[in-house]
Amino acid sequence: MHSLDDLVAQLESMTAALTVHLSTASADDLAGFVQQRDELIHSINAANSSPGERALLKPRVDKILRWDELIIARMAQLKEEAQAGMNKMNQGRVQRGAYEAAYTPDSVFFDRKK
């Protein structure tokens, strides 16, 4: 089992690596990061450590939490982009629906001349 310091160091390096290329990170990159991070946080919470050891690691954890603000902002940006794409697709469906025939294709239309 890893020590608490090792787990926090792993979380710290993983978060730092993501923030380096955060502006180009895809939704899949962020989803993988969140999954790995969740596993690490679970391990950190399960680690047997003294309150003193946890207090020593608090500044490093606070630094990671500051990076979280950037990561959450990127997630919100990707969410907005996805929502805009879905709105565009729905608008296309509505416009296409206006041009599609609202009658059965085997019907016959007679045009009279005046």
> Helix (H, G, I), strand (E, B), or coil: what is residue 106?
coil
What pLDDT is recorded for position 9?
94
Tens digit of pLDDT for each residue in 82-91?
999 999 998 8
Tens digit of pLDDT for each residue in 33-75?
999 999 999 998 888 888 888 899 999 999 999 999 999 999 9
Q: Is the Cβ–Cβ distance between 19 and 66 less than 8 Å?
A: no
Distance CA 65, CA 12 (A): 10
Q: What single letter denotes the amino acid at residue 109?
A: F
